[in-house]
Amino acid sequence: MSNQEMQFADPDWKPSQQLDTKTNPQEQEVYNPQPVNADSREQNQWRAAPSAPPQQEGYTGIRPYTGPQPGQMQGGNFRQRPYRRRGRGPWFWIILAIIIISLMSGGFRSFNGPGFDHNPFNQGQIVEKPITYTVTGQPTIVINDPNGNVTVTVGKSNTDVIIQAVNEHNFFGNPNDIQPVSSQVGSTITASIPDSQQGSADLQVTVPNGSNLQLQTASGNITVSGVDGQMTLATQNGNIDLSNDMLSGSSTITTIDSGNINFDGTIDSRGTYQFQTNSGNVDLTVPTTPSFHLNASTSTGSIHSNGFPGVNVQNNSSGSGQMVNGDVGGSSQGQGAKVTITTVDGNIDLHQR
């Protein structure tokens, strides 16, 4: 049918463009579908239109995405929800706290200077600057450390008393939290650690040979090495260890509750010496001379003489516990040293070297 005939058949009809008038395939218009209820003659004409030939184009890259944006619904005006960071779990904060505490401890240790590595204490301890006192004659050292340990050794000087605090139980390791309070009156040196809830501090004390010691703790241990003198040592629940010492005068070694007493040294032939504990054990090691009178007893424990000469172990009259009362190393004739050992629930071990 010609264009004129189509014009008279359908007044609204317009001539369509010939598909073959444009030789360039890219200039060909896009096919627009017509209404479904169009005239059957027009449908035949549409079916007769040839399809566009396949074309090959060179690769020009990926075309920009023209679809809907992520997070938006097509056809709507929705805004993308803002990104929210996930909260950090509890393990992150625990690890961070450990790192901060480690850095703080390392920083406080650096205050002690480069000589800290040569200190005999552990690297994790905070060593205070030592306090030095100069004495003449025989010094008397009075120490009270409620919760810490006390260690006393003999120094090279015959006139210097050195007191050094070691803060190892303080949580943050801050050396300014716990410091000893010390003073000197004549030849008497007094030092104490405040009973603080923030932690505790140990005391390292260096004394001249021949010093008299008065040491007291509550839960800490007492250790004395190489000191010759009169000693009064007492602790509530700690242990007392004495090695290479020589006791003189009237010396008393006491653990009030559950601490053990270990003595490996010598005793002066003219002194009186008492080793007392409640539920702890007593281990005594002395040389064969001088002779001394021994009075030892335990309420529920046992006494082991280990070949001590002159020791006769007997059972208590109550049926429990044992006792010893006699001269060791010969007859003292009432003029020699006197050694008394008592314990309630502990054992007594006697050794002679």
Instruction: State which residues form the domain around 33.
Output: 3-47
Regarding whether 312 and 191 lie in a shared domain, the answer is no
Regarding whether 257 and 171 lie in a shared domain, the answer is no
Regarding whether 351 and 227 lie in a shared domain, the answer is yes
Q: What torsion do the CA atoms of 257, 259, 260, 262 make, to the nearest 10 degrees?
A: -110
pLDDT at position 159? 94
Number of domains in the chain: 3
Q: Rounded to whole angstroms, how far apart are CA atoms 228 and 248?
A: 7
**Under 8 Å between Cβ of 146 and 167:** no
Regarding whether 284 and 256 lie in a shared domain, the answer is yes
Q: Which of 145, 178, 209 is the last residue before a domain boundary? A: 209
Structure tokens, 18: 């010939």
Regarding whether 260 and 193 lie in a shared domain, the answer is no
Q: Which of 15, 31, 47 is the last residue before a domain boundary? A: 47
pLDDT at position 129? 82
Q: Say whether pTM exceeds 0.75.
A: no
Regarding whether 300 and 250 lie in a shared domain, the answer is yes
One digit per residue, pLDDT tens: the chain, 353 residues?
Answer: 554 444 444 555 555 544 444 444 444 444 555 555 544 454 444 454 455 554 544 445 555 555 555 544 444 454 555 555 566 678 888 888 888 887 765 544 433 333 333 334 443 445 568 899 999 989 999 999 988 999 999 999 999 999 998 875 444 445 455 678 899 999 999 999 887 655 678 999 999 999 999 999 998 999 999 999 999 999 999 999 999 999 999 999 999 998 999 999 999 988 999 999 999 999 999 987 888 899 999 999 999 988 777 788 899 887 789 999 988 876 655 568 999 999 999 999 999 88
Quick check: is 225 in a domain?
yes
Regarding whether 346 and 225 lie in a shared domain, the answer is yes
Q: Which residue has the tokens 């030892």?
A: 296
pLDDT at position 336? 82
**Nearest-5° angle of CA 311, CA 315, CA 321?**
105
Regarding whether 328 and 229 lie in a shared domain, the answer is yes
Categorise residue 189: left if φ over 0, alpha if ψ from -120 to 50, beta otherwise.
beta
**Under 8 Å between Cβ of 296 and 320:** no
Quick check: is 76 in a domain?
no
Regarding whether 351 and 308 lie in a shared domain, the answer is yes
3 state SS of 269 = coil
pLDDT at position 310? 72
pLDDT at position 12? 55
Count CB atoms within 10 A of the CB of residue 148.
26
pLDDT at position 256? 93
Q: Which of 209, 239, 270 is the last residue before a domain boundary? A: 209
pLDDT at position 212? 97
pLDDT at position 87? 62
In degrees and rounded to multiples of 5, residue 262 shows phi and psi of -125, 120
pLDDT at position 77? 52
Quick check: is 72 in a domain?
no
The alpha carbon dihedral of 113, 118, 124, 127 has a sign of negative
pLDDT at position 119? 38
Quick check: is 64 in a domain?
no
**Under 8 Å between Cβ of 218 and 257:** no
Strand order in the sheet with 337-343: 181-185, 188-192, 140-145, 212-217, 231-235, 250-255, 272-277, 337-343, 292-298, 322-328, 314-315
Regarding whether 173 and 265 lie in a shared domain, the answer is no
Regarding whether 243 and 204 lie in a shared domain, the answer is no
Quick check: is 74 in a domain?
no
Quick check: is 59 in a domain?
no
pLDDT at position 27? 47
